Amino acid sequence: VSGGQGQSKQSIGVKAGDWIEYNAGSTGSPPPGHETVWDRIEVINTSATKIWINVVAEAPNGSLTTAMRDIDFTTGDVEGWIIIPANLGPGDSFYDMLSNSTVTIQGQETKVVAGASRVITYVDTPQRHKEWDKSTGMFVTTNDNLGNYSFTATAYSTNMWSVKILGLDPAVFYVVVFVTIFAVVDVLVLTLLLRRRTRL
């Protein structure tokens, strides 16, 4: 479906091999499998409107669990808003099958996430505050209040975008640093040579 105010977009912004990791935590009495301290989502495959993911979760005791899930934008199976259609902006919406409702993006802002400046969209409800990376549709922050327990997760590492150092890719940053150091050393050597010639 094409874009526009209030209209859903079905574009997929992730691809096979993409992954993202989160620091997580829960309070209260979460159901089995939801009491985690670390999570990783890896995209296994995609189709025109569907995404298959592998979710790895670490419990407080260090044990790991793995679960295969699929996201289907056509049916609204977005698995607690884990991944939504890419490039949704304020006023755009997606359908959530579990709540049988349309969820409208409330706003967006630019934030540093997992080492890079990203455009982040968000929805804030009494039960859930969710933030997504706009261009991929992947959630980067969640704060869920689900009755007798709450769950939080914040992304800290991913291969979907590059870490920036002072706004530059690491390779570019280190080239700039090397060239700068080389230029400073060159000037110092030239200055010393000129001083020596002056003394002679």
Segments of the chain assigned E as strands: 19-28, 38-46, 50-58, 64-72, 93-96, 101-104, 107-113, 116-124, 128-133, 139-145, 149-158
Query: How many angstroms separate the CA atoms of 147 and 163, rounded?
Result: 37
CB 104, CB 93: distance < 8 Å: yes
pLDDT of amino acid 183: 57
- The confidence score (pLDDT) of residue 182 equals 52
Q: Residue 103 in contact with residue 124, Cβ under 8 Å? A: no
Q: Do residues 24 and 151 touch, judged by C-beta distance below 8 A?
A: yes
The DSSP element (H or E) to which 196 belongs, if any, is helix 170-199
What's residue 184's pLDDT? 56
- In the predicted model, residues of the chain with pLDDT beneath 70 are 1-9, 164-189, 199-200
Sign of the CA dihedral 33, 30, 144, 119? negative
Q: Which residue has the tokens 């295969």?
A: 68
What pLDDT, on the 0 to 100 scale, is given for residue 200? 62
The per-residue pLDDT for range 91-119, each reduced to its tens digit, is: 999 999 999 999 999 999 999 999 999 99
- Alpha-carbon separation of residue 96 from 9, 74, 150, 179 (angstroms): 13, 10, 20, 52
